[in-house]
Amino acid sequence: MSTTTANLPPPRSRWLLLGLVMLALAGGTYGWTLWKSEYAWRSGYGDGSLAHIRTANPAVLSGGDMTTFHKGYKPFGQPADNLPWQYAKRFEDGDGLFEQPYRAASGRDPTTVKAGGVATTPEGLGPLYNANACGACHFRDGPVETPYQTGEPMKGIFLRLSVPDGKGGYMAPPGYHAQLRDKSVAGVPPEGMGVITWDEVPGAFPDGESFSLRHPRYRVDNPGYGPLPAGLILEARSAPRLPGMGLLEAIDTATLLGLAKAQELDPDGVSGRPNWVTDPETGARVIGRFSLKANEASLRAQTAGAAFNDMGMTSPIHPRELCLPGQTACTGAPKNGGQGHTDLKEEQLQVLTTYLQLLAVPARRNVDDARVQRGERLFADIRCNACHVDTLKTGGTHPITRLRGQIIHPYSDLLLHDMGPGLAGRPDNDAGPAEWRTPPLWGIGLTQRSNHHSAFLHDQRARNLTEAILWHEGEAAPARARFMGLSRPDRAALITFLESL
């Protein structure tokens, strides 16, 4: 009798053991499937590899794990690498919705929604609007190339209007919205046509090199709802680049307040401050971080606001059409659906928001180039980074886990700065006319590749990066003065550095 046979359990227990093993296997497989389908993907990482990010020179990783090395013509519209398929699908659905051109409501079918949030009947545009798709202004998720010549219709750019309210504040002109909708559905007059004229103002660097800045003058032709009052303040806004939006949302409020606090001691008098805005859903006072005057607090609010203000699309956050009391043709225009119908459904709002949150940040290029490195040192030496803060860490609470705890290089503090009267427009929430949010500079060097132009600042008045810097005044005047005083090769090195972002 061999020892092996001697140690075997009796036949009945053997069946029991087998049963238990099978049960454990089935339980394990079920648990694993449940974990993969319900929980694991929430980390934001798929089954692929991030080795190319883990082994990259940290200097190129502007968006941490949200950096993309995409080399094509759409550098601003890429998803983060190695997303789990659940997020990848939402990104793709959101991308579809972002590019979706909408048409006017037929007044018949309520807009129905396919799985994934894409509209089967893309209706609900207007009655008043500026463009028929998010992607019409944010072309390839960057600023659309606009002809922007006197008399040509504005594209990707719209006018905002204010008049003094007689009580020391400002309001929209009577009969009009604070944003001029230059387009409308059939039978409804548009609010007017924004027209720009340019004045060239020459200047020179101390070393004699000359430049010329084009100063915009705006006016409204063919006002559709009565004469516009005297004292009208006009300002144009251009669609920003959208990479890294989720990371900006994931920065803690405390971090932004810390930046503002630290600037109280700034030797140049840089004194950024947050724009406190009201969350449209909770009513809470929160720090605005999106849009050019940081007037929107979250990507969800920004998305609903953009759909409503720029495209005339209602959503759960803005359920009523935007027609004003005097705009009777607008009020009478066909609407889709009945009680509770909104042009954008909750699901679509969510898919669009996730799309924006997962947009990756382009990796930097040429970081080993000596000129780029010299430019980077100069950027710090002349204190551009007082506002364009190079390094931040995202907080630990964003609902998308992947966005948490990332070391990022946005080159922004998301705070408002007084940029002097030359750039002044109209006020917005807490932001004064001359105050603008420091725009993130990540990806700026790819604007030409993506959008075929190199126009910068809130209304694209600067025709290149040098002009953008020359417009800096107010809190940025000392930095500008130091830039002016650099030698010609040093100025070029600084620009080369910006182009590497």
Residues that bind ligand HEC (CB under 6 A): 98, 130-131, 134, 136-138, 156, 158, 237-240, 242, 245, 270, 290-293, 295, 299, 302-303, 306-307, 310-311, 352, 356, 382, 384, 386-388, 417, 419, 423, 436, 438-439, 444, 456-458, 465, 468-469, 472, 475-476, 479-480, 483, 498
- The letter for the amino acid at 86 is Q
> Minimal distance in Å, beta carbon 396 to ligand HEC?
22
> Minimal distance in Å, beta carbon 168 to ligand HEC?
23
Is residue 170 a contact partner of residue 178, using CB atoms and an 8 Å limit?
no
Q: Rg of the chain over CA atoms, in angstroms?
A: 27
As a whole number of angstroms, the distance between CA 100 and CA 324 comes to 27
* Residue 287 vs 307, nearer CB to ligand HEC: 307
* Residue 94 vs 110, nearer CB to ligand HEC: 94
* Residue 354 vs 406, nearer CB to ligand HEC: 354
> Minimal distance in Å, beta carbon 184 to ligand HEC?
13
> Minimal distance in Å, beta carbon 31 to ligand HEC?
38
* Contacts made by residues 483-488, CB under 8 angstroms, sequence distance 24+: 483/382, 483/384, 484/205, 484/206, 485/206, 486/378, 486/382, 487/207, 488/205, 488/207, 488/209
* Residue 61 vs 352, nearer CB to ligand HEC: 352
* Residue 302 vs 314, nearer CB to ligand HEC: 302
> Minimal distance in Å, beta carbon 345 to ligand HEC?
13
HEC states along 152-206? CCCCCEEEEEEEECCCCCEECCCCCCCECCCEECCCCCCCCEEEEEEEEEEEECC
* Residue 53 vs 351, nearer CB to ligand HEC: 351
> Minimal distance in Å, beta carbon 434 to ligand HEC?
9
How far CA 181 is from CA of 151, 269, 342, in Å, comes to 16, 38, 20
* Residue 56 vs 422, nearer CB to ligand HEC: 422
Q: Tell me: cis bond preceding 127? Omega within 30 of 0 counts.
A: yes
As a whole number of angstroms, the distance between CA 87 and CA 296 comes to 24
> Minimal distance in Å, beta carbon 457 to ligand HEC?
4
> Minimal distance in Å, beta carbon 413 to ligand HEC?
8
* Residue 82 vs 354, nearer CB to ligand HEC: 354
As a whole number of angstroms, the distance between CA 135 and CA 96 comes to 10
How far CA 288 is from CA of 254, 259, 260, 403, in Å, comes to 13, 15, 14, 19
> Minimal distance in Å, beta carbon 237 to ligand HEC?
4
At 203, phi and psi to the nearest 5? Answer: -150, 180
**How many C-beta atoms lie closer than 10 Å to residue 133's C-beta?**
18
Q: Which helix (H) or strand (E) holds 304?
A: helix 299-311
* Residue 228 vs 444, nearer CB to ligand HEC: 444
**In the sheet that 157-164 helps form, which strands lie side by side, from edge to edge?**
170-171, 157-164, 233-238
